[in-house]
């Protein structure tokens, strides 16, 4: 039983900190764990600050109409040729597509933006979408996989509400990171290590996440996937009395902040609800295609 430090920051995150080793480092780093909520820790061996916010469901693919948990036949990678607008789809197991997971959804929206098929608000650009754009039940959608190519016999589509939900989630994720870094007065550009936990961290393409403005525009090697840190931390505590003692030392050095009473969070969130952001200087690597 691991201790917790806040309403939405439980023992799994304490285990994650233990597993990441960030509590032993002199340099300041981030630990990011995206599930149903997004939990974030910043700090080093001397101090830590933590917060949590609702950012996860759309980032896991759970809100999209064709969203699914990762598994055989689920789309996990998308590339769109910016010239021909041809879609290259990769599925888990190389099977006919039956849905899309979180990493695939982030890829898809990033590629739609880079191809000029959606604008900075995430709205479909009709002239660029051409024959792939359709209305189903009065909801505008883009066909990702045609019926004859899918594993369900039906077209797999991404709707405008699906994109809107992802933009809200990515804006929350980026704003959580910005708010907590502002609180400790350390700019995101000065952070050298972002540890990303869970299956989300293992499979997400940081380049796509940067394109949509979900995570800071930092060198790709800055993002370090760690896998299931809660399980790893629990294993460490089971086999080491020193690790069990350290769990409580970690707990005692964490300051927890509540985002739902933080006015700065709401102001920053509004600015982040664009691709990649209203302040394009924050994302210099994301080129403007000019479509």
pLDDT tens by residue, 14-67: 999 999 999 999 999 999 988 767 889 999 999 999 988 776 555 655 667 898
Work out the end-to-end distance of the chain between its first and last CA atoms, rounded to an integer number of angstroms: 54
Q: Which residue has the higher pLDDT, 79 or 38?
A: 79
What is the arrangement of strands in the sheet containing 74-80, beginning at the earlier edge strand?
Answer: 87-91, 74-80, 99-100
Angle at 169 between CA 167 and CA 172, to 5 degrees: 110
pLDDT of residue 264: 82
Give me the residue label for tokens 């970690």: 250
At 58 the pLDDT is 56
pLDDT score for 198:
80
The confidence score (pLDDT) of residue 55 equals 67
pLDDT band at residue 290 under the 50/70/90 scheme: very low
Q: How far apart are CA 41 and CA 98, in angstroms?
A: 35
Q: Give the residue among 15, 60, 29 at the shortest CA–CA distance from 165.
A: 60
- Say yes or no to pLDDT of 259 above 90: no
pTM of the model: 0.92
Q: Are 11 and 2 in contact (CB under 8 A)?
A: yes
Residue 166, token pair as written in the block: 């992802």
Which percentage of the chain shows pLDDT scores above 90?
Answer: 75
Average pLDDT over residues 101-129: 95
| Per-residue pLDDT, 203 | 80
| pLDDT over 70 percentage in the chain | 95
Cα 99 to Cα 101: distance, rounded to the nearest angstrom: 7
For 197, the token pair is 């936990």
Separation CA 205–CA 218 (nearest Å): 13
Predicted pLDDT at 29: 98
Residues of the chain with CATH 3.30.420.40: 11-54+176-260
* b/e 166-186 (16+ beta carbons within 10 angstroms → b): bbbbbbbbbbbbbbbbebeee
Interval 100-108 mean pLDDT? 91
Tokens encoding 207: 């380049």
Length of the chain: 291
**11-54+176-260 CATH, one of 3.30.210.10, 3.90.1640.10, 3.30.420.40, 1.10.10.10:** 3.30.420.40
pLDDT of residue 186: 96
* Mean pLDDT, the chain, whole residue set: 90
The mean pLDDT of 129-157, rounded to a whole number, is 94
Helix H, strand E, coil C: the string for 226-272 is EECHHHHHHHHHHHCHHHHHHHHHHHHHEEECCHHHCHHHHHHHHHC
């Amino acid at each position: 039983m691991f201790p917790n430090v806040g309403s939405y920051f439980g023992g799994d995150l304490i285990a994650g900190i233990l597993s990441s080793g960030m509590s032993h480092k002199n340099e300041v780093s981030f630990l990011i764990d995206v599930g149903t909520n997004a939990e974030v820790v910043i700090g080093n061996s001397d101090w830590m600050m933590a917060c949590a916010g609702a950012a996860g469901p759309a980032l896991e693919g759970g809100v999209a109409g064709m969203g699914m948990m990762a598994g055989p036949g689920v789309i996990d990678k998308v590339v769109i040729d910016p010239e021909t607008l041809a879609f290259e789809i990769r599925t888990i197991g190389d099977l006919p597509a039956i849905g899309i997971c979180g990493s695939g959804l982030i890829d898809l929206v990033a590629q739609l933006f880079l191809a000029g098929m959606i604008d900075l608000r995430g709205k479909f650009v009709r002239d660029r979408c051409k024959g792939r754009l359709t209305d189903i039940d009065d909801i505008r959608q883009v066909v990702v996989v045609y019926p004859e190519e899918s594993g369900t016999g039906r077209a797999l589509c991404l709707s405008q509400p699906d994109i809107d939900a992802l933009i809200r989630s990515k804006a929350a994720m980026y704003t959580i990171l910005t708010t907590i870094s502002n609180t400790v007065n350390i700019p995101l550009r000065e952070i050298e290590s972002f540890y990303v936990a869970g299956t989300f961290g293992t499979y997400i393409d940081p380049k796509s996440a940067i394109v949509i403005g979900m995570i800071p525009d930092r060198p790709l090697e800055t993002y370090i996937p760690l896998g299931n840190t809660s399980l790893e931390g629990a294993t460490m505590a089971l086999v080491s009395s020193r690790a069990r003692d350290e769990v409580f030392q970690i707990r005692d050095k964490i300051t927890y902040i509540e985002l739902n009473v933080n006015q700065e969070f709401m102001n920053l969130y509004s600015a982040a609800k664009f691709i990649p952001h209203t302040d394009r200087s924050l994302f210099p690597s994301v080129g403007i295609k000019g479509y």
